[in-house]
């Protein structure tokens, strides 16, 4: 596990976050908006296209052995119940990403949510009274307390990326999770992007046994 470049992916069918860290420093954080696609097959194809372009860009400068890809590990239980449809759909998305990496000679891993949050943020719980700074941040930006800690980390350590990439104008009538900027524009924080940034950084913060090869 000697890779110097890590592609971190927070995968979902709504919006997939993709970030790149090099030797422990975050260099790029983006997300792929999948809302305009109707079928999950179309969404997987869109993720594959964007990741393929990113991989080609990286491999023009690095050898495959210097690059790793890390996904968030699929949860086998949701609200204490086994969710078969969720596992099937996420397994298909993970396989799409893992196959793309395999085709390019890049090893793909997964990491548990609690592990990467603890290793990068310092704790895996939502913003609450035990973490008052994150709680204030959550309230200020009207964020889900579960998502606020990773966004706060990005703001504190990579403010330029946070400002230019994580804060997104909202064109729809959506109210939940939005806030009004100083310029009067309704915005939201792209939590998928923020999570992918921390997943990418986790490669350099966690012990190797925390990562499982995706085959």
Note the pLDDT of residue 172: 74
Query: pLDDT grade, residue 77 (50/70/90)?
Result: low
Given a cut of 60, whether residue 78 has pLDDT beyond it is no
Write out pLDDT tens, residues 20-39. 999 999 999 999 999 999 99
Note the pLDDT of residue 200: 98
Given a cut of 90, whether residue 62 has pLDDT beyond it is yes
Q: How many residues does the chain have?
A: 215
Q: How many CB atoms lie within 10 A of CB 215?
A: 8
Given a cut of 90, whether residue 184 has pLDDT beyond it is no
Distance from the first to the final alpha carbon of the chain: 16
- The three-class DSSP label of residue 79 is coil
Given a cut of 90, whether residue 182 has pLDDT beyond it is no
Compute the mean pLDDT over every residue in the chain, rounded to the nearest whole number.
94
Note the pLDDT of residue 181: 86
Note the pLDDT of residue 41: 97
Burial of 70 (0-12, 13-18, 19+ CB in 10 A): buried
Query: pLDDT grade, residue 175 (50/70/90)?
Result: confident
Note the pLDDT of residue 86: 84
Orientation angle between helical segments 40-59 and 84-103, nearest 10 degrees: 30
Note the pLDDT of residue 80: 62
Write out pLDDT tens, residues 198-212. 999 999 999 999 999
Write out pLDDT tens, residues 109-153. 999 999 999 999 999 999 999 999 999 999 999 999 999 999 999
Query: pLDDT grade, residue 1 (50/70/90)?
Result: low
Q: Give the closest residue to 1 by CA, choosing from 153, 122, 111.
A: 111
Rounded percentage of the chain residues whose pLDDT exceeds 70: 96
Note the pLDDT of residue 94: 97
CA 203 → CA 7, 114, 159, distances in Å? Answer: 9, 14, 21
Output the pTM of the full model: 0.94
């Amino acid at each position: 596990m000697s890779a110097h470049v890590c592609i971190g992916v927070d995968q979902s069918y709504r919006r997939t976050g993709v970030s790149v860290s090099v030797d422990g420093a975050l260099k790029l954080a983006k997300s792929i908006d999948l809302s305009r696609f109707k079928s999950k097959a179309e969404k997987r194809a869109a993720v594959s296209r964007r990741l393929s372009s990113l991989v080609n860009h990286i491999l023009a400068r690095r050898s495959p052995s210097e690059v790793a890809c890390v996904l968030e590990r699929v949860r086998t239980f949701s609200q204490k119940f086994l969710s078969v449809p969720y596992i099937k759909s996420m397994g298909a998305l993970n396989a799409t990403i893992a196959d793309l990496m395999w085709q390019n000679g890049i090893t793909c891993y997964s990491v548990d949510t609690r592990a990467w949050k603890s290793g990068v943020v310092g704790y895996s719980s939502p913003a609450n009274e035990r973490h008052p700074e994150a709680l204030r941040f959550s309230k200020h930006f009207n964020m889900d307390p579960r998502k606020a800690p990773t966004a706060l980390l990005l703001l504190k350590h990579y403010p330029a990326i946070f400002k230019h990439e994580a804060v997104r104008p909202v064109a729809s009538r959506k109210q939940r999770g939005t806030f009004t900027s100083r310029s009067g524009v309704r915005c939201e924080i792209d939590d998928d992007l923020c999570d992918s940034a921390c997943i990418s950084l986790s490669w350099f913060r966690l012990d190797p046994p925390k990562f499982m090869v995706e085959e």
